[in-house]
Amino acid sequence: MTVVDTIRERLAALQPQTLEIADDSALHAGHAGAKSGGGHYRVIIVSPQFARLPTLKRHRLVHTALGTLMQREIHALSITALTPEES
């Protein structure tokens, strides 16, 4: 299973209506984080669970769902977290 597959599997806990994941690791070849094996990813996630939450709490939900991936497999993560009404 790829890291993107694992990200998708773990973010399913947030019941996304839309989930887009991009692996930008190749754009950062030679970067210190890339040398340690951590990749660079972009996530766009639309979920009703983000309703009435500020951006920081939305990002915390994503980080919590990803759990240990944030310690090894993911070096950098760009998150766009929206409610269905915002998308």
What tokens were used for 15? 């019941």
What's the pTM value of the predicted model, to 2 decimals? 0.90
Q: What are 43-68's pLDDT values in tens digits?
A: 999 999 999 999 999 999 999 999 99
CATH number of 3-82: 3.30.300.90
What does the mean pLDDT of the chain come to?
Answer: 92
Distance CA 17, CA 69 (A): 22
User: Mean pLDDT, to the nearest integer, of 75-79?
Assistant: 95
DSSP string, 11-31: HGGG--SEEEEEE-GGGGTT-
Distance CA 11, CA 35 (A): 26
